[in-house]
Structure 1
Amino acid sequence: MAKRKKYRNEVRRILIVTLAAMMLIASNVFFVTIGKVHLRSGTDLSIYADSANTVTDTTLALRGFIYDRNGQVIAQDNRTYDIVCVLSSARQSIEGQIAYVKDKEGTAKVLSEILKIDYDKIMGYLSQDVYQTELGVGGRRLSQATKDLIESYKLPGIEFTDSIKRIYPNGQFASNLIGYAQQDDHDITTGQMGLELYLNSYLSGTNGTRTYQTDKDGYRLPGMKDEVVSAVNGDDVYLTLDTSIQQTLEQSMSMTQSQFGADNVWGGVMEIKTGKVLAWGQSNSFDPNVREITDYTNTGAQVPYEPGSTLKTFTWAAAINEGKYNGSELTNGNSYCYGTDSQNNPIRATADNSLGCVYNADRHQYGSVDFDTGLIYSLNSVAGTVQNEVITPDINLEYLRKFGFFNDVDTDGLPEATGTLNFTYPSDKLSLSFGQGSTVTMLQLMQAYSAVFSDGTMVKPYFVDSIRDGYDNSKYIYKANKTVVGHPITSDTAKQLQSILYRVVNDDKGTGRGYRIPECKVMGKTGTTELAVDGSYQSGKYIYSFMGALPADNPQILVYYALQIDSSVPVNQQPQVNLLRR
């Protein structure tokens, strides 16, 4: 019984306190409405009664930052402030307070020292016969630290407006991958392309509001307490990109384009064992701060092309993995003239009894060569023999599909092309053995070569490492992990391929000998293909490429580099070598 009485007393106290609070609020509303006095501030509102307005402004949230793998900023919201000086003595204020710049000399002295603006120039602004003024360029886009310093002087009449701009400190920097974000007419910043668009729901903050009263002219009444709903900033994104490596890639592409007049250059760098992409870019890109965009396409994922001889590696991979390959066995290194068998597959034929002939580069005839040399010298004729006589075109296609070609890689929301497979006619099938006639993407090549350069384990390339709380980066919202997408070949097959690809770079007549660097041994495969335009190979445009891995004795990093160029322009490997050396 005593407990019940005690409980009733507690309830009674709570009700009394609640009613008292409600009465205080109600009385304040009553006094403000009838008596024109605000109890909390003591402000006499009767002087504003005929024209007071309530205004609600948006408080802008900060969009989440985008960082590289080492925490260096790739994209950030920059909040800046413009200074506003209220000059009119008619500005109403709480009794006993000054709400305009009364001490012009003292104010000018403080602002001159902080803003590094000439004192007389500031006095000129403050001496105008206007309600309020700004201070020109020197008073705009002030940092938070500068604003805080000025406010510490408690200068009457000095106020600030703020704005937020999305900035990209590195300029052109994987821009077709990163994309950009911009503000709309409702002060909402939204990703427009790339990862800024794909991750928009994480990066976007929620704007807040600030409600306050103004006089009849729309100027804010000083001394009144604002009603504030705080903005909530967006989450931060950490990418796998490495700023230093990315900048080297950008510089290499710029060098290639400027020195050799390349139509486009594209490339990527990836950790072989994890799939983390360390660099990704193209020369036909843009500075997201300026956004003079002529090409929104992400070349590495969205533009399929005939890769040329970099695809030969997978013809050899299929033959080795099937247990039918003998690298020291001799074969015909001359032109491959072909006919067709009963299953519509190409077979070697004499020139005068053939459907056509496939030639090696510059129509060189090599006579009798072993199969390993066929890959080291990048001979189209030997690639045809490996596919059509050591294995079959169908087996080669089966392995290409195991390596992920002609399918989506499906990583981090990248729009992508799957490429085109032409496998109807004998010429289509023969061309596939040396990387022509069908198309793939750089993204697919990087994924496929992760198996070749490792123990046969194929991993998915990815760009987003983690998403973290914008207020506490130790709190993870998302953390990426390595994704194994298959084991298209055995470890033994991978090791045998690596030994051949090592010779591509390090043999005196290997096609990749120009990619040697003093820092470490490199392995890799070159590629050259004529660009087909409207089904014709008469365009005079070529794509030159190189897929490399280093160090050769324990491959950790994969590097791909390609350029589209007029065949009449002499090129060298220096830009690509610079990237390898980085």
Structure 2
Amino acid sequence: MIKLLKNIATFPFRKVAINAGKTRLSPQDNRKRIAQDILFLALLVFTVFIVRFAWIIVTDSSNGVKLRPLAKANYSETTTIYAKRGTIFDREGAAIATDSSDYSIYVILDKTYVSAAGKKLYASSEDFAKVAAIFKEKLGIDESYTRAQLNIPKASQVEFGTKGKHISFTLKEQIEKEAKDKGVAGIGFTSHLARSYTGNFASNFIGLAGLKDGDDDTKGLIGQFGIEASLDNILSGKNGVETLEKNKDGQTLKGIAKSVTPAKDGQDVYTTIDSTLQSYLETLVDTSMQNYTGTEVVATLVKADTGEILATTQRPTFDPSTQTVIGPKDPTLSDKQNLNSQTNLLYQSMFEPGSTFKLFTMAAAIENGTFDPNARYTSTPISVGGTRIADWDVLLNPDGLNMTYPQGFARSSNVGMSKLQMAMGDKVWDSYLNRFRFGIPTRMGVGGEGFGSLPDENIVSQVNSSFGQGVGVTDVQMLRGFSAIANGGTMLEPHFISKIANTDAGTQRISEPEIIGKPVSKTTADSVLKYMVNVGTDNVYGTAYDFSTTQPYFRVAGKDVSIKTGTAQVANPKGGYYVGETAYLYSAVAMVPSVNPDYIFYMTIKLPDHWNLNFISNVANPLLERAYDLKPTIDATSNKSVGKSSNETKIALENYEGKKPGSTLDLLRQQLLQPVVIGSGSVITKQSISPGTKLGANKRILLLTNGKLTMPDIYDWSKQDIDILAKWAGLTVTYDGADNGKATEQSIKMNESIKKGKKLTVTLK
């Protein structure tokens, strides 16, 4: 080999010498010729070298390998600065969801895996029973499954499915100690970026965040559902990059950075939830469900004068730390399948509400002048469009009861409400359904919200809707409507964001109550609250009066409680309605006190195995009592009392022209703005505030669509907003009152058609 290399190295020079010998030139001429050949050869080699060097510079590669990264690696090291996902807090700053780590468990079976001292670091077959026992006790993994995994042929390492993942640090330490005490080797853990939650705590509402790409921590977390998903663009941060210099030995020089692009942490979200009330509600519902079961249960507490959601839960739900299902589930499905099939029942599940809807029938009839508190009727069944309508107690009272309409309301009489609806007429009734915004999602910023549905135009559907059948709602739509009854006719949009804090900038955006209309007057709303008290106190007609104890079911610290109970048929997906003694959706709404209520509590139970109103009252009563114990703190942290922030985050408004109004409403509410859609179109054509304008929180933004224009409810609007509406619609406006006041009355009623030249008179106060 060495001889061969020498021959190759001397080959050009031997060839020159041979050629020189053949020429028979003189030694002087030979030396000259050899010099010329050597010069030519040197130029050729130099040219090849220059071309090769230029090629490397231009292409930054050699033999297909990129050189720049290798060069950088010699003299610098680039690392990712991971951004922190924003924390979700309760209203007082207690953490609900934070960044953390969790662990996946595995067992090493490779018998070559031993320490330098020869100590075995794998699980041997004689330890399999101990491993199975530990996993059964600590993780709930079936022992037969563990043994099957451990006995996989030729496996060097095995994992243990869903139950072997998302293990907390505390549980990891317990397993490690147990394994050490029993002398078991080979159990290991892999750490993953994760999200830490407060157990079962409004789990479906808060939601989950997980790794974007399986077990790859470098890509960070992403919201999967609930608030975590809806507010992902707010909570998610942006990773940064840091490039550090290396010395001649390739060692990183800590603290000496050539360049730094800092990470941008996600913003923190403060919810309106009160942790004490939320935890108590979870406990109360769990206790109640030990005696009663239902396929779906939802319970929510709202602060009446602000629309803040203080506590909300549902069953089925789940524990986010273990991702196991809590409450009723399909036994034919796995826990993971049951979890993935869950929806947020507060705003995604639509249902026929039943008799709690009679609040709105009463409000419409009183406001319209149809209701006469002294008029009497007999509750015998009636026929409407060939359909029989009867009261729930028709078998007990086949000849009907002769009652006043307030007594009929306390008795939850379908016949009485039907008579009021027919006296109003379908057109008037429809106008009130629209004023209370049924059939329209709240768009409070959660996304994926159910729309609900208005009754069909036929006479049977219209009359049935007066007692809550043939009309579709969500829980949050009902709560929105209830807010108008509780607040003297002023309706509020329910909301769940108290504050958004930008920790990097040291700024924040604080939400305020959002007034969205006034469907009825204060006199009407107060009258409905008064009649609701009789539902619990009337010892002859009241459906919430417990005749066995001669006490109202709902009692809160001696305060008068406004109550309405409900029982609704449940639609069967196969057609018609479910049948059976308890094949209903039961519900109740409680507003306390009955004059200027502080709180609204609403709970629904679908298809329980048996029924008693204690199912709801045993949750409502202690929860409302606790809310009054905490009232000073709740009021102190209420958005209404926070006021303006001196370090408010300003956002630049985007251009929403050409966008869909629905998704735009959700986005703007997530930014704590107050959008209003004008017209019934599917595309936004104009916006009242120009793109690029920097806005603080709680600013009203009008969005004009390409659809038919109808008059919105302009209650609480400023003169500036009304002028913009008038310009878009071509209205002629006359104002009565102070220019800096807010609209309290409008001559064109909500949902009336508007066109160019029409006159509008507005009272400002």
Where does 1:42-61 land on structure 2 (aligned, <5 Å)? 54-61=76-83
1:428 aligns with 2:472: no
Q: Secondary structure at the match of 2:219?
A: coil
1:420-479 deviation per Cα after TM superposition (whole angstroms, max 9, x unaligned): 233243321221111012211111110001111121001100111211122466x21x32
1:173 aligns with 2:196: no
Gaps of 5+ in 2: 1-70, 104-167, 171-189, 325-338, 545-551, 627-765
1:295 to 1:355, Cα distance in 2 relative to 1, 3 A: closer
> TM-score scaled by structure 2?
0.54
Counterpart Cα distance in 2 of 1:71 and 1:314? 37
**Structure 2 counterpart of 1:382:** 416
1:538 aligns with 2:578: yes
Q: CA deviation at 1:330?
A: 0.8
Counterpart Cα distance in 1 of 2:512 and 2:317? 29
Counterpart Cα distance in 2 of 1:280 and 1:551? 20
Q: Secondary structure at the match of 2:448?
A: coil
**Structure 2 counterpart of 1:182:** 210
**Structure 1 counterpart of 2:353:** 307
Q: CA deviation at 1:72?
A: 1.0
Q: CA deviation at 1:538?
A: 3.4
**Structure 2 counterpart of 1:333:** 379
Q: CA deviation at 1:392?
A: 1.6
**Structure 1 counterpart of 2:625:** 581
Q: Which piece of structure 1 moves more, 250-259 or 62-71?
A: 250-259
Q: CA deviation at 1:212?
A: 5.1
Counterpart Cα distance in 1 of 2:252 and 2:447? 51
Q: Secondary structure at the match of 1:508?
A: coil
**Structure 2 counterpart of 1:451:** 484
**Structure 1 counterpart of 2:300:** 268
Q: CA deviation at 1:220?
A: 8.6
Where does 1:89-488 land on structure 2 (aligned, <5 Å)? 164-168=193-197, 170-184=198-212, 185=216, 186-211=218-243, 221=251, 225=255, 227=257, 229-292=261-324, 293-335=339-381, 337-340=382-385, 354-361=386-393, 363-365=395-397, 366-389=400-423, 391-471=424-504, 475-476=507-508, 478-488=509-519
1:260-284 deviation per Cα after TM superposition (whole angstroms, max 9, x unaligned): 1221210211121211111122121
Counterpart Cα distance in 1 of 2:370 and 2:255? 84
Residue identity in the other structure for 2:593: P
Q: Which protein, 1 or 2, shows the higher relative CO under an 8 Å CA cutoff with sep ≥ 6?
A: 1
Q: CA deviation at 1:164?
A: 4.3
Q: Secondary structure at the match of 2:347?
A: helix
Identity rate of aligned residues, in percent? 30
Judge conservation of contact 1:256–1:265 (CA < 8 Å) in 2: no
Judge conservation of contact 1:64–1:470 (CA < 8 Å) in 2: no
- Of residues 556, 560, 581, the one that matches 2:598 is 556
1:173-212 deviation per Cα after TM superposition (whole angstroms, max 9, x unaligned): 2222211212233332221222212222221122233445
- Of residues 565, 580, 587, the one that matches 1:526 is 565
1:197 to 1:318, Cα distance in 2 relative to 1, 3 A: same
Residue identity in the other structure for 2:459: P
Residue identity in the other structure for 1:338: S
Q: CA deviation at 1:402?
A: 0.7
Judge conservation of contact 1:275–1:462 (CA < 8 Å) in 2: yes
Residue identity in the other structure for 2:561: V
Where does 1:50-89 land on structure 2 (aligned, <5 Å)? 54-78=76-100
Q: Which piece of structure 1 moves more, 449-458 or 570-579?
A: 570-579
Counterpart Cα distance in 1 of 2:372 and 2:84? 62
Q: Secondary structure at the match of 1:489?
A: coil
Q: Secondary structure at the match of 1:302?
A: coil
Residue identity in the other structure for 2:619: P
Q: CA deviation at 1:58?
A: 2.2
Residue identity in the other structure for 1:561: M
Q: CA deviation at 1:172?
A: 1.7
Counterpart Cα distance in 2 of 1:538 and 1:234? 47
Gaps of 5+ in 1: 1-48, 82-139, 143-160, 341-353
Q: Secondary structure at the match of 2:589?
A: strand
Counterpart Cα distance in 2 of 1:535 and 1:363? 26
1:356 to 1:220, Cα distance in 2 relative to 1, 3 A: farther
**Structure 2 counterpart of 1:516:** 555
Counterpart Cα distance in 2 of 1:199 and 1:561? 26
1:246 to 1:556, Cα distance in 2 relative to 1, 3 A: same
Q: CA deviation at 1:55?
A: 4.2
Counterpart Cα distance in 1 of 2:196 and 2:394? 49
Q: Which piece of structure 1 moves more, 60-69 or 283-292?
A: 283-292
Judge conservation of contact 1:79–1:164 (CA < 8 Å) in 2: yes
Counterpart Cα distance in 1 of 2:298 and 2:618? 15
1:361 to 1:294, Cα distance in 2 relative to 1, 3 A: farther
Residue identity in the other structure for 1:526: T
Judge conservation of contact 2:350–2:452 (CA < 8 Å) in 1: yes
Q: Work out which of the two has the higher radius of gyration on C-alpha atoms and give 1 or 2.
A: 2
Q: CA deviation at 1:80?
A: 9.9
Counterpart Cα distance in 1 of 2:598 and 2:300? 14
1:111-139 deviation per Cα after TM superposition (whole angstroms, max 9, x unaligned): xxxxxxxxxxxxxxxxxxxxxxxxxxxxx
Q: Secondary structure at the match of 1:431?
A: helix
Counterpart Cα distance in 2 of 1:552 and 1:569? 27
Q: Secondary structure at the match of 1:244?
A: helix
Judge conservation of contact 2:543–2:565 (CA < 8 Å) in 1: yes
Aligned length: 439
Q: CA RMSD in A?
A: 3.0
1:324-362 deviation per Cα after TM superposition (whole angstroms, max 9, x unaligned): 221121111222x2144xxxxxxxxxxxxx543423346
Residue identity in the other structure for 1:167: S
Q: Secondary structure at the match of 1:451?
A: helix
1:529 to 1:492, Cα distance in 2 relative to 1, 3 A: same
Q: Secondary structure at the match of 2:100?
A: strand
Counterpart Cα distance in 1 of 2:482 and 2:504? 39
Residue identity in the other structure for 2:520: I
Q: Secondary structure at the match of 2:99?
A: strand
Residue identity in the other structure for 1:247: S
Judge conservation of contact 1:257–1:263 (CA < 8 Å) in 2: no
1:233-268 deviation per Cα after TM superposition (whole angstroms, max 9, x unaligned): 221111111111112222222223332122121021
Counterpart Cα distance in 1 of 2:244 and 2:192? 19
Counterpart Cα distance in 2 of 1:568 and 1:203? 43
Counterpart Cα distance in 1 of 2:442 and 2:411? 30
